[in-house]
Amino acid sequence: MMVNEDHVKASDTQSTCLQEFVNSPEKQKALYKRTLFVVSVSQIFGGAGLAAGVTVGALIAQQMLGTDAYAGVPTALFTLGSAGAAWLVGKLSQKKGRRAGLTTGFILGGVGAIGVIFSAILNSVFLLFLSLLVYGSGTATNLQARYAGTDLAKAKQRGTA
């Protein structure tokens, strides 16, 4: 019984907080600016980190395999993983909301990045290739996160956002 009462209180608190934003154009504008800033900064750092990771993955593969013959395989796996994750994150976002989809995608990208590190430590090409496939989730998610900036934008601001 207490759990239900706590849930109702939390729900009422959220409704009150949301209502303050609905009724206040100033608060809406401040939230929009803050959201756009956070999305922009995350795009800069996320994009740079993901690009560096793919480059490092290709260099690790070259070192492990001892040849340049398969230098494109890491990038191809990364791209394939990104395509699959775009579909997965999109579906999850439709069912559970953008936050759940983006969170899942970024976590998978992080798991892939950790896998790349372990593959280098263990000198495992198989683990490297598998990790790069999962690492692609980070790129797909980073690209989809750009649209979070448009969620709060008014109709006239959507192109700029």
The fraction of the chain above a pLDDT of 90, given in percent, is 36
pLDDT at 47: 81
Print the SS3 string covering 124-147: CHHHHHHHHHHHHHHHHHHHHHCC
Cα(110)–Cα(136) distance, integer angstroms? 10
Cα–Cα distances (Å) from 90 to 31, 48, 74, 145, in that order, read 24, 23, 24, 11
Cα(14)–Cα(20) distance, integer angstroms? 10
Tokens of 119: 């593959």
Question: From the CB of residue 59, how many other CB atoms can be counted at a distance below 10 Å?
Answer: 13
pLDDT at 4: 54
pLDDT tens per residue, range 50-105 = 888 888 888 898 899 888 888 788 889 999 999 999 999 999 999 998 889 989 99
Domain boundary assignment for the chain: 28-157
Cα(79)–Cα(73) distance, integer angstroms? 10
pLDDT at 15: 62
Cα–Cα distances (Å) from 100 to 8, 90, 95, in that order, read 22, 10, 9
In terms of pLDDT, which residue wins out, 150 or 72? 72
pLDDT at 22: 64
In terms of pLDDT, which residue wins out, 148 or 3? 148
Tokens of 118: 């372990």
